[in-house]
Amino acid sequence: MYKWYEMSYYLFSKLKVKLNVQSTKYTDKFKDRFKYLVCYGLNTCNEHYSIVINEVKKIQNTGSLFLSNKYSYSKDYFYIHDYRDAILCIKTDILSDKIEIQMETDFNIYEYIEIIEDIIFCKLIQMNILPVHSSSIHFQNKGYVLAAWGG
CA dist 42 and 140 (Å) reads 41
Residue 135 pLDDT more than 90? no
For residue 41, what are the contacts with CB-CB under 8 A and spacing of at least 6? none
**Cβ-contact 69, 82 below 8 angstroms:** no
pTM beyond 0.85: the answer is no
pLDDT digits (tens, 9 = 90+) for 25-69: 888 888 888 877 776 544 555 566 788 999 999 998 777 888 888
